[in-house]
Structure 1
Amino acid sequence: RWNTRQLLKIIYEPEYAKAVYSRGDPKASDLYDFFLQWIGKGLLVLHGPKWFQHRKLLTPGFHHDVLKPYVAVMANSARVMLDKWEEKAREDKSFDIYHDVGHMALELLMKCTFGKGTSGLNYSDNAYHLAVRDLTLLMQQRLSSFQYHNDFIYWLTPHGRRFLRACRVAHDHTDQVIRERKAALQDKEEQERIQSRRHLDFLDILLGAQDEDRVKLPDADLRAEVDTFMFGGHDTTTRGISWFLYCMALNPEHQHRCREEIREILGDRDSIQGEDLGKMTYLTMCIRESFRLYPPVPQVYRQLSEPVSFVDGRSLPAGSLISLHIYALHRNSAVWPDPEVFDPLRFSLENMAGRHPFAFLPFSAGPRNCIGQQFAMNEMKVVAALSLLRFEFAPDPSRPPIPMPQLTLCSKTGIHLRLTSLGQGSGK
């Protein structure tokens, strides 16, 4: 898949996954070094003591109580997208939902990261929005084009120059926001205003993070973590939401059952609160089953820092490159009977109880699992619930999606769905 002098070993069996991913081996530098120009050395690419320091400092920012107020932010961003979809539903033809979901997910993330959303986007914010979108696309293209793997060649190409321009825009925006926020925090009144807000944004949490010796992250590390959060939290949730809605379109009986559950929870309300998310049992099962069939990140890579021995007696030496093929793991018939069938009951409490803990890994596993998985699940539930209340989704048989595993799980043909409006709010 990429330019390396070593053989890549692919694993897709739970015991093998456990042997490697329950440890803290570093990410495979042959692949993840491509990310450095944009996201720098944040959690995604760090390893060793510095990774541990960052992970420890950032973990409190993803606590349940910190994430709860974001639900209203997520709901507002989703409604803007769904209002646009009312017009598209009236056209009575299918359309590719990916672009709209991506736009919504990125604006939502900007609001949660910088405290800004659609209403507060200025010229610089819009330029940043476009830069992040560009960088994500260019990164995907670079990984899938072998001739672009050499840095010297890539930076001379139009794609490489475009990537560097977008990097400058993204970095300048993040640096400016960090400078302004740090300056504002010197003002006592501004400090009190930030603390009294309904929710702290990700940048507030980063600026406040400190270890036992009261050491804070330097500006370069702050920018790396902001850029990592924007990269890691934008395209993955876009893919997750898009594939979930496709699964709902293909399975109207499950779509109907999710909608009924949401109506029962919300009653006459058309807004979602943090407390509602834990009650969405069937919707959560359907989201997990869509993650099983279409994991947003289809492969994750490690480089062994020490030898590993597997249960069958095989072993690999230190330095080996390993790919956990999540897409193949989730369709492994030895673990999942009838793996191509969409069956949310696989994720009932009874069925999950006897399953191998490394059989289902949409957020990877072990100490280097996805720090933002609860944020992502909350976003999935909010957007999915509000979407199902507003619309009935149906597939377009003439344009089925063709899964294409890249950095994230793309579709060669987009994800074209037909929407029928159920009316505003709760759909009653």
Structure 2
Amino acid sequence: MLMPAFHFNILKPYMKIFDESVNIMHAKWHLLTLEHNACLDMFEHMNLMTLDSLQKCVFSFDSQCQEKPSEYIASVLELSSLVAKRNQQILLHMDFLYYLTHDGRHFHRACRLGHDFADAVIQEQRHTLPSQGVDDFLQAKAKSKTLDFIDVLLISKDEDGKELSDEDIRAEADTFMFEGEDPSYDTRTSGLSWVQYNLAMHPEYQERCGQEMQEFLKVCEPKEIEW
């Protein structure tokens, strides 16, 4: 049921989203250089850029989290940190003990906030579906060039024609937004940050990469990286 979300025709238009998210990050870096800031936390910037892209691809939602605080993104980051911390404390693996602690109460609050956000998006998009019908819904989405992950789940049916419940859809969306699976934002952030660090440590390779991109962009119209 999830496989259509990974079809090339679904993924290709996401390149425009990635371009936009990276451009926002580059603009922030440009301002930092104008202010003569020599150092920045690469992981933090890559983290926000990745989460920005994920939110747009999973929910079709622009939180502008790279430019201003986002309550939902803050809950994602807090939950990731709390899960890692909890894993190191065996006694707190038991829920009834964990929820009595300070961290447990924060975890419960952040979970509720994250679930409320996802539920609101799912409900809004589900209400659009009956009024349009699946075919009209897909045509409208085709005009906007992107079909997000929630869209694919909403129109999915099993072999018996049964749709996914809102709770099922939210669980799948959470899997993508939070830790625990290969597509998680933290995996991507770590990989991208490590690449940037190594390019900074080896400027001769950074120069070669830059030259290759400049040559590519000379023949690229419009001046965007496409699939």
Give the TM-score, by structure 1 length.
Answer: 0.47
Query: Paired residue for 1:210?
Result: 157
Partner SS for 2:213: helix
* 2:202 is aligned with 1:251: yes
The aligned counterpart of 1:142 is 86
Residue in 2 that maps onto 1:240: 191
Residue 215 of structure 1 deviates from its aligned partner by: 2.4
Which runs of 5 or more residues in structure 2 are unaligned? none
Of 9, 32, 36, 1:88 maps to: 32
> Could you tell me how far 1:92 is from its partner in structure 2?
4.2
Give the greater-gyration-radius structure (CA). Answer: 1
1:60–1:257 distance in 2 versus 1, CA, 3 Å: same
Q: CA deviation at 1:205?
A: 0.9
Q: Which moved more, 1:233-242 or 1:74-83?
A: 233-242
Aligned partner of 2:44 in structure 1 is 99
Contiguous gaps of at least 5 residues in structure 1? 1-56, 275-428
Match of 2:10 among 62, 66, 69: 66
**How many angstroms apart in 1 are the aligned matches of 2:48 and 2:157?**
33
- Equivalent runs, 1:299-378 vs 2, <5 Å: none
Higher helix share: 2
Query: TM-score, normalization: structure 2?
Result: 0.86
The separation in 2 between residues aligned to 1:237 and 1:95, in whole angstroms, is 18
Alignment of 1:167-182 (within 5 A): 167-182=111-126
Task: Report the 3-state secondary structure (helix = DSSP H, G, I; strand = E; otherwise coil) of the residue aligned with 2:99.
Answer: helix
Q: Which residue of structure 2 aligns with residue 272 of structure 1?
A: 225
Larger strand proportion of the pair:
1
The C-alpha deviation readout for 1:10-36, integer Å capped at 9, x for no partner, is xxxxxxxxxxxxxxxxxxxxxxxxxxx
CA RMSD of aligned residues (A): 2.4
Give the Cα–Cα distance (whole angstroms) in 1 for the partners of residues 62 and 120 of structure 2.
Answer: 17
**Are the equivalent residues in 1 in contact too, given 2:42–2:193 (CA < 8 A)?**
yes
**Shift in Å, 1:211:** 2.9
| Residue of structure 2 equivalent to 1:115 | 60
The residue type paired with residue 108 of structure 1 is S
Question: In structure 2, which of residues 75, 88, 105 is the aligned counterpart of residue 161 of structure 1?
Answer: 105
Conservation of the 8 A alpha-carbon contact between 2:63 and 2:70: no
1:314-361: per-residue Cα shift (whole Å, max 9, x none)?
xxxxxxxxxxxxxxxxxxxxxxxxxxxxxxxxxxxxxxxxxxxxxxxx
What percent identity do the matched residue pairs reach? 38
Q: Could you list the per-position Cα deviations for residues 24-75 of structure 1 after superposition, in whole angstroms to 9, with x for gaps in the alignment?
A: xxxxxxxxxxxxxxxxxxxxxxxxxxxxxxxxx1122112221000000011
Q: CA deviation at 1:119?
A: 5.8
Deviations 1:196-240 (A, max 9, x none): 321101111111122333222222211100110111432221111
The partner residue of 1:196 within 143, 150, 155 is 143
Asked if 1 retains the 8 angstrom alpha-carbon contact of 2:52 and 2:65, the reply is: no
Cα distance, 1:146 vs. partner? Answer: 4.0
The alignment status of 1:222 with 2:169, answered yes or no, reads yes
Question: What are the Cα deviations for residues 77-111 of structure 1, in whole angstroms up to 9, with x where unaligned?
Answer: 11111101112223242221111211111111111
Matched position secondary structure for 2:224: coil
Q: 1:263 and 1:161 mapped to 2: Cα distance?
A: 51
Q: Deviations over 1:119-158 (max 9, x none)?
A: 699xxx9322221121112112222344533333321111
Paired residues of 2:65 and 2:73 also in contact (CA < 8 A): no
Counterpart AA for 2:153:
L
